Amino acid sequence: MKRMWSCLKSRKGFTLIELIIVVIIIGVLAAIALPQYAGFVERARCTEAVNAIGAIKVAEQTARIETGDYVTCTDGVAIAADLGVTVNLTNWTYATAANAADKTLSVVITATRTAANSGTAYLGKTITLTWTNAPATGTWGGNHPNRPR
């Protein structure tokens, strides 16, 4: 009994097989968790774009009430200058296009995914909102897999 106790007491550390099993378990968990995490992050970034499009839509409606026309803006800087809406340009670029034939009729607001933090799966994907004045309706579109439906 004393000999067995001294063997157990003198054993310090882990065996190689125990370490290998732990590394394998961590690897399997990482292989499952990382793609899920990337999907959650991209959905959050889509929410950012949808919120920005909503703010731009309100500014476009205000501009139409004040001036009679929707405004066409080619980038985020023009949106900030012409509409007074500051948008985060880290993950998305934004543009608005008023109906060319009748600027009082409709506007299309587009968010395009940029290369920052996107990888190749989402690069260039878009989320659009086409807003028609009469009747007041909006239609979501684009080719981003997480866009509103």
pLDDT digits (tens, 9 = 90+) for 118-145: 666 788 888 888 888 777 778 887 878 7
Distance CA 75, CA 109 (A): 11
The predicted model scores a pTM of 0.75
3 pLDDT more than 70:
no
**pLDDT given at position 42:** 83
Q: Please tell me the predicted confidence (pLDDT) of residue 102.
A: 84
Does residue 4 surpass a pLDDT of 60? Answer: no
- Beta-carbon contacts of 149 under 8 Å, excluding residues fewer than 6 positions away, are 140
The predicted pLDDT at position 105 comes to: 86
Q: For 31-41, what is the mean pLDDT?
A: 85
Mean pLDDT of 100-109: 86
* The three-state (H, E, C) secondary structure of the chain, written as one string: CHHHHHHHHHCCCCCHHHHHHHHHHHHHHHHHHHHHHHHHHHHHHHHHHHHHHHHHHHHHHHHHHHHCCCCCECCHHHHHHHHCCCCCCCCEEEEEEECCCCCCCEEEEEEEECCCCCHHHHCCCEEEEEEECCCCEEEEECCCCCCCC
The model's confidence at residue 24, banded by pLDDT at 50, 70 and 90, is very high
